[in-house]
Structure 1
Amino acid sequence: MIEWLDTPLGQHRATLPSLYVFSQLILFFIYTNQDRLYDYFIQAESKFFSVIFLQCHTLVTALNYLIQWVSMWTLLDNYTTDDCILMLTISIASILAIIVLTGHSHDLVCSPFIISYDSIEYNVRIETSFITEKMNPFLLHILNYIFYEYIISLLSILAWRGTYKLLDDFLYPNNENMSAIMSLLIGYVLFFIIMYTQFFQNNIDLISTFIQSNYPLFIRNLRHICAFFSCVFLWRGYWILLDLHIATISFVHESPYTYYIIFIIISFIILSIMKTASSINGPMSHINDEYDLFPLYSNCFLVKWFNGKQKSNELPSNLKNMTDIKPFVITSF
């Protein structure tokens, strides 16, 4: 899409607003028809058709979010200042605004922290943070759509854009390879620290009774913000490396549209086979982690895997009519 925006048609001043409006119309349709679609999937007789349709739904949603972000990001690049200090100030203000509006900064975090599992349970109905008792479902979906796809989405883009600009200007600006490597290194260090210590979140809260009593969401939001920075580092690092070493390959450079479409299709097929294609968007509904392994960033792919292993471990015991069933433990991973 970035390549296409460099063409005369892509550079037309009406193109970006039109793309943004188009993506928002599709998202509006997805929001307002989610209940019908969910009921259709549940009642469908052909499971194979349901799986194919679900993947198509995931792909359409992912492409629309891509169009939404690229068009808005490019509009901001074209019509707003590129002053790093001002952009960083706006980024910080956007993060604070998201916390004020939602009570947390979780919406800034994406893959690799948020890993979804392709299922009707997680990827059709869109959860809301509003109290919805006795509210018309259609009006609720519209309210949810306006809140997330206009307000939270714009604030998220502003937060990402300012942070990205800061790294462009101060992290080896004259050496793109080194900048990308350092981005990945810092991003992965943050990722492993945050992702695999979240289990101890409750213990940290108990250590500081004052923080737990007076600012119960402080440490949680601090982790979310660190996870957000990790995501920016990782995405930026891979993006730069792809631009430097994949986009410059002769056959890709000569026919960028063809090969980018091929790359999209191949990547989506691989993710679909792994049942994680919906991770492009993130799960639309809350993931219940029965084992409380990932209290902040639930990995429903691993939760499903654990459930499958637990059932397979319990099956022989049931066949033998054994009453002493050993609990499932993580060491079987």
Structure 2
Amino acid sequence: MRGSTAGISDGLKGSSKSHYRLLTFLDLTLSTLVIAPLVVSYWRGTWGLVDQLVYPNDPTRSAIVSCVFGYAGTAALTVAQNFLGELLHPNTHRLTYYVSSRIYTAVFGFVCVNHWRGGWMLLDLHAGTSPAAVGSVTAAAVVGLAASRTLRNLSAPPFAIAADRREGYFEVPRAFKDSNQNISWYILDCVFSVCVVGTLVVFVWRGHWSLLEIYLYPGQPGKSAFASIVIGYILVIITFLLQPVMKYLARTLTGIIRLLVVDIYLLISFSGTINVWRGIWNCLNYYFLPTMPLLSYFITHSLCFLLLVLINSSNSILVRGVYIDGQEAGEQCVDFPCYYIRLFFQEKRKKKLMKSSEQRRLSHKPAENDNLLIGGKTQEVVSNHSTNPSAV
């Protein structure tokens, strides 16, 4: 979940625009119809398991346990990212790295769900679920994210997915990306990213979700769930279709106007995202083994995680890192990180370019396109994660 902007390095896109557009369409389709439902199902199953197993008759205590475990675990894994990256390097012990990295994802995923569940439940219990209470908290959280230029962190599948690539597997971007920070400021940066930005994101998600529960066919769970799916996917399609227009505006506008346009676009995508999530989540609650909830939760938790691992996209379940709105130059700030098939073709093209460059080097015939080995200009890819398709 959550994503910064993405970009395949210009020199690695290939010469055929139609081919790249086809790959883009396939990536968006895969993200929307396969990866997003699997991620939502995993979260629903994990959340439900905790509901069933951790103080099921004491909501307050259950929420506090989730809060402590979630916040402490997310902060600890964020602080330990450099240590884990050095300890579990893919070039030393491949099998150990593969197994350990997937265990890391499983643990981090469980921690993320508890982080969200704890804050969400405590807010429900102590702030109330009336429209006025929900609306005021949500509005304040949106203003907080907009003021800190972190609205982008509302993103989740289908608008942000993460392939399980070796580069940057354990990397968790922080709010203040100062490489010269001492250890104390580094830890404070990690804690701020988790406890402040992360909490505001949870509050906005909870608010939008709760308002849908209140106003979208209340008392009719099946109809309400299907309505959310329809609304969500319509908004997702509209958002993706607006990409060319938004990329043009992002290239041509500057200053506060550019940031405002980007934020509005991100909020539209967020509305589509949360409708898709709520629709799939509630359909599973209503139709998938409703009389055996524990089994239903266990199946969606374990099976969906296994499927995401097998398709090399398990990191899509993670909520980690902080990204800044409109930080990238040009159109990158509105380019959603839905890279899967394109990463495969980029790696293939990268190997071809490296081989060609090596042949030219051996024959002492340098060429202008040698710089393509690093993609000309480097563009950061995201994830909630995060990978950088232009990095080797």
Q: TM-score range by the shorter chain?
A: 0.7 to 0.9
1:296–1:139: structure 2 CA closer, same or farther, 3 Å change rule?
farther
Q: Does 2:300 align with 1:263?
A: yes
1:108–1:241: structure 2 CA closer, same or farther, 3 Å change rule?
same
The answer to which of 261-270 and 230-239 deviates more is 261-270
Q: Deviations over 1:101-144 (max 9, x none)?
A: 2x1410111111111011242430211231515311x3344223
Q: Does 2:116 align with 1:69?
A: yes
Aligned length: 312
The answer to which of 270-279 and 13-22 deviates more is 13-22
Whether the 8 Å contact between 1:58 and 1:123 is mirrored in structure 2 is: no
Candidates 93, 98, 107, aligned match of 1:51: 98
- Alignment gaps of 5+ in structure 1: 328-333
The answer to which of 234-243 and 26-35 deviates more is 26-35
Q: Distance in 1 between matches of 2:143 and 2:175?
A: 17
**1:20 CA drift (Å):** 1.4
Could you say what secondary structure the match of 1:195 adopts? helix
**1:282 CA drift (Å):** 5.1
- 1:40 alignment counterpart: 87
Q: Does 2:345 align with 1:306?
A: yes
Candidates 118, 139, 155, aligned match of 2:184: 139
- 2:311 alignment counterpart: 274
Q: Distance in 1 between matches of 2:280 and 2:334?
A: 27
Whether the 8 Å contact between 1:176 and 1:240 is mirrored in structure 2 is: yes
Candidates 32, 37, 56, aligned match of 1:10: 56
1:262–1:3: structure 2 CA closer, same or farther, 3 Å change rule?
closer
Q: Does 2:97 align with 1:60?
A: no
Q: Does 2:242 align with 1:197?
A: yes
**1:319 CA drift (Å):** 11
Same amino acid, percent of matched pairs? 19
**1:64 CA drift (Å):** 0.3
Q: Does 2:115 align with 1:78?
A: no
1:324–1:155: structure 2 CA closer, same or farther, 3 Å change rule?
closer
**1:159 CA drift (Å):** 1.0
- Alignment gaps of 5+ in structure 2: 1-46, 361-366, 373-392
After TM superposition, the score normalised by the length of structure 1 is 0.81
The CA RMSD measured in Å over matched residues stands at 3.2
- 2:388 alignment counterpart: none
Whether the 8 Å contact between 1:188 and 1:234 is mirrored in structure 2 is: yes
Q: Distance in 2 between matches of 1:47 and 1:285?
A: 29
Please show how residues 281-292 of structure 1 align to structure 2 within 5 Å: 281=318, 284=321
- 2:364 alignment counterpart: none
1:302–1:285: structure 2 CA closer, same or farther, 3 Å change rule?
farther
Q: Distance in 2 between matches of 1:262 and 1:176?
A: 22
- 1:331 alignment counterpart: none
After TM superposition, the score normalised by the length of structure 2 is 0.70
Whether the 8 Å contact between 2:229 and 2:280 is mirrored in structure 1 is: yes
**1:61 CA drift (Å):** 0.6
Q: Deviations over 1:156-202 (max 9, x none)?
A: 12211221121112212243222222211111121122234334424
**1:73 CA drift (Å):** 1.4
Q: Distance in 1 between matches of 2:185 and 2:358?
A: 47
Candidates 147, 153, 158, aligned match of 1:112: 158
Whether the 8 Å contact between 1:127 and 1:284 is mirrored in structure 2 is: yes
The answer to which of 70-79 and 228-237 deviates more is 70-79
Whether the 8 Å contact between 1:124 and 1:284 is mirrored in structure 2 is: no
- 1:171 alignment counterpart: 216
Counterpart residue identity of residue 298, structure 2: I
Q: Distance in 2 between matches of 1:41 and 1:8?
A: 32
